[in-house]
Chain A
Amino acid sequence: DTEVTQTPKHLVMGMTNKKSLKCEQHMGHRAMYWYKQKAKKPPELMFVYSYEKLSINESVPSRFSPECPNSSLLNLHLHALQPEDSALYLCASSPGGGPYTQYFGPGTRLTVL
């Protein structure tokens, strides 16, 4: 099973809302990632969790708050977002930090009104 699942598939929220994106993998991977992708651009790394600890934060604004409740789950909590935060949010996982590929989920299409 090389599947990473993400919910919801689509999300529309206002600038005052609080919402969460969820990601799950059951491949036993120990590294999990959040990416943001704008149209016609490559994915941009936001956060990396390694063994359930935050190891990289790519200077992401605090209105994005990641959480890794256990080795299979990754959340991204959203609060007071701006319209320019509208994008495809991708979760990925990999066995670890070595020469391993990252497996991506289908993404959550987020629209901020």
Chain B
Amino acid sequence: NAGVTQTPKFQVLKTGQSMTLQCAQDMNHNSMYWYRQDPGMGLRLIYYSASEGTTDKGEVPNGYNVSRLNKREFSLRLESAAPSQTSVYFCASSELGSSGYTFGSGTRLTVV
């Protein structure tokens, strides 16, 4: 099925550990995004990539880094996880003429 694939679906980290969230899309979209979803706060943009080779900070970039590995893949890295990064992370992609953002099914991350 065409769409956005995120891995892993669930992850528990200890404070200070690092990890990379993976995202891949097979729709040939140019733009990709990472959002975090927290209760009562909606979806907040962490980083985005308007096209292959470019990345820019969103609303809440502190504590995160991203890599646009190629047109298909956009990864999000937590270098030193903190409890405040406990959240559900969504990757999305979009393209001119596409029907809005296509979101992945999310990664639920708990930092203890």
Q: Do A and B bind each other?
A: no
